[in-house]
Amino acid sequence: MSEAPVARLAAAIETLARAHKAAAPLPRGLPYLGLEHPSGTGFHLLDALAARGIFRKYEFVLDLGAGLGGTSRWLVARLGCEVVGTAASRAEAEAGESLTRRTGLSAQVRLVPADPAALPFRAAHFTHVWILETLPRLRDPLAALGEAHRVLRRGGTLAIQDLVRPEARSAPEIPGWRPSTTAERAAALERLGFIEFAVRDRTAEAPERSAQVLAARDRLLARLRRDARCAQLVREREALAAALADGALRVVQIVARRP
């Protein structure tokens, strides 16, 4: 993602959230209505994932592949965690940091550009690793999971929300995405040494429930369609929505522990 689309996406998100806030209170934990989240799956799913992963106040969390930081800010606003999120580029990290400053959460959220396959953190640095629909977008998801294992403290929790393809179907065509199956993801975790992992399919619960959020997403997509520099962002979001709607992608949550 080049700098111009990232900056324009962040600006559009901030403008739309400000307009919605003037009309009605925003959902708790979503100062930008979750518009940073490309798939459109509902943020209500994260309550269940955080509860299963035992995310609590003062936990030190790595949000791997945080992008513009929406899920990182959610962890802070909802649960009081301290979060470091990784972004795909310096431009993405800077745009996300700008959004964070406007929410007053900069003391607890930091976004840094980092390669998920070679994280710039010492071993056993975090109590939790949080990966939200990031793995299918990575060049080497296995290496990223290996890094997650390395930077987790012993006994630490890995919590993943993943978009996977059903066993009987080929992967849908989504720009920049290569979805795995649930079995492939679980096998990778086992090979890396994670234990006590549990998988739950959340597809039936995944659609967003908030009329306010749905309206904001429609307005954001309409705005992005008018900007040729955001064409790739539009294609990604439209393809994800179509794949989820027709069952070509499923939403699963995985929680595991580092021994």
Residue 229 CB partners (closer than 8 Å, separation 6+): 2, 4, 5, 8
For position 3, what pLDDT does the model report?
A: 54
Which strands form 109-113's sheet, in the order they lie side by side? 109-113, 82-87, 60-63, 126-132, 152-164, 250-257, 195-201
- Enter the tokens of residue 233: 């962002």
8 pLDDT higher than 50: yes
Percent residues over pLDDT 90 in the chain? 90
State the average pLDDT over residues 88-96: 96
Range in 25-29, 201-205, 231-235 the model is least confident about:
25-29
For position 2, what pLDDT does the model report?
A: 46
How far is C-alpha 244 from the geometric centre of its chain's CA atoms? 16
Spatial distance between the Cα atoms of 140 and 89, rounded to a whole number of angstroms: 16
State the average pLDDT over residues 29-42: 95
Strand-pair partners of 168: none
Range in 2-16, 95-109, 184-198 the model is least confident about:
2-16
H-only helix segments in the chain: 3-23, 44-52, 70-79, 90-103, 141-151, 182-192, 211-225, 231-245
| 3-257 CATH | 3.40.50.150
- Enter the tokens of residue 150: 């390395």
Q: pLDDT band for position 169 (50/70/90)?
A: confident
Domain boundaries, the chain: 3-257
